[in-house]
Amino acid sequence: MKGRRIYLDHIGGREAAAIVVNGQLDDLLIDDDNPRNGAIYRGICDRPIKGQGGMILRIPGGTAWLRGAKGLAPGQPVLIQVTGVAEEGKAVPVTDRILFKSRYAIVTPGAPGYNVSRQIKDEDERERLLAIAHEVMDGDAGLILRSHAEGAEADEVAEDIAAMLDLCHAIMREGEGTKPEALTEGDGPHAVAWREWNADDVITREGCFADEGVLDLIDALASPKVSIEEGSMFVEPTRALVAVDVNTGGDTSPAAALKANLAAARMLPRALRLRGLGGQITVDFAPMPKGQRKQVEQSLRGSFRNDPIETSLVGWTPMGCFELQRKRERAATGPLLKGV
């Protein structure tokens, strides 16, 4: 199946969205029991964490962790936004730099100025979008016009900006309360798919995952084995880290290790994204001469450059493994699929 197609359905009673590119599952979102990414709370400062420059805050149903919490005191209310998924028993990671994000626009309170995505290269289009921004914005907040806005109808862009601006004003007025409160619940998988993905077709029919073969693609995620062009790759999460093992398979040629490692580097971002894996990641590449490491590292950098989840490439260990640090932006897929 050629092209890009989005499917909106449910898995085990949970809202879910999938995008399939040329017959391959490219991304998968499943609602979980954690606070949604982007949800906004009024948190109440509880206690600072000495030596880490952060603050533990009370939110409805639990606690949140705010890094770089300077100038805050216990008991003080602060507006915060969820930025990721907490490990079991830990506080939810949040930021006090609130963003109001939709398909075409991001409104940024406290960060003035109007900007257009660098991915939009056409100067006439950039000027058109900035003109729309100046007509709608009121000067109290900043604005980023996203790449999705390129070529969009002016009325649609203006309505999107106005909706985010109205939400911004409404939420910012709620910051002075004295109790923890959830102010927005964040976007679910269907809304995130509309906001972030582009496709040739969108299927919203209930049961489309089963009817269109998407469930078969999702079932394959239960196996740690990832199909790559050369050799094999296994992605296995543990409590401490995510271990990735790359093998050459039956290929015994002199170039086998480099071919397998380059193929694994290309496939790794998608394999991690589909499984919802983050934190510390250690890749045990197939044995190769040190002189070939630069090629593999360049391939990794190119692969992760277009991945939507923030990932830091740390480097090679003394034992020849490669380490990465990946933001825990979504819940692991495996536990959500058990029993489905």
Q: How far is CA 308 from the centre of its chain?
A: 5
- The total of other beta-carbon atoms located within 10 Å of residue 252's CB is 7
pLDDT of residue 252: 76
What is the reported pLDDT for 176? Answer: 76
Which pLDDT score is estimated for 229? Answer: 80
The pLDDT score that the predictor gives to residue 9 is: 97
CA–CA dist 219, 217 (Å, integer): 6
Host H or E run for residue 187: none
Q: Please report, for the chain, the start and end positions of each structural domain, with discontinuous segments joined by +.
A: 4-31+191-215, 40-97, 100-174, 223-337
Please give the radius of gyration of the chain, using alpha carbons only, rounded to the nearest integer: 22
Structure tokens at 194: 């509309």
State pTM to two decimals. 0.91
pLDDT of residue 191: 97
CB-based contact 276:221 (threshold 8 Å): no
Residue-level pLDDT at 340: 63
Strand pairing category for 141-145 and 105-109: antiparallel
Burial 257-288 (b: 16+ CB within 10 A, else e): bbbbbbbbbebbbbbbbbbbbbbebbbbbbeb
Q: What is the pLDDT along the chain (340 residues), one digit of tens a residue?
A: 689 999 999 999 999 999 999 999 999 999 999 999 999 999 999 999 877 789 999 999 999 999 988 888 999 999 999 999 988 788 999 999 999 999 999 999 988 899 999 999 999 999 999 999 999 998 789 999 999 999 999 999 999 999 999 999 999 988 777 899 999 999 999 999 999 999 999 999 999 999 999 999 999 999 999 988 888 999 999 989 999 999 998 777 888 999 999 999 999 999 999 999 999 999 999 999 999 999 999 999 999 998 999 999 999 999 999 999 999 999 999 989 886 6
**What topology is assigned to 100-174 in CATH?**
Ribosomal Protein S5; domain 2 (3.30.230)
CATH superfamily of 40-97: Nucleic acid-binding proteins (2.40.50.140)
Identify which of 224, 231, 325, 223 has the alpha carbon closest to the alpha carbon of residue 285: 231
The CATH number, out of the four listed (3.30.1360, 3.40.630, 2.60.40, 3.90.25), of the domain defined by the range 223-337: 3.40.630
| Integer CA distances (angstroms), 29 to 6, 8, 17, 107, 219, in order | 11, 10, 5, 24, 14
Strand partners, 325: 280, 312
Give the chain's count of helices (H) and strands (E). Answer: 8, 20
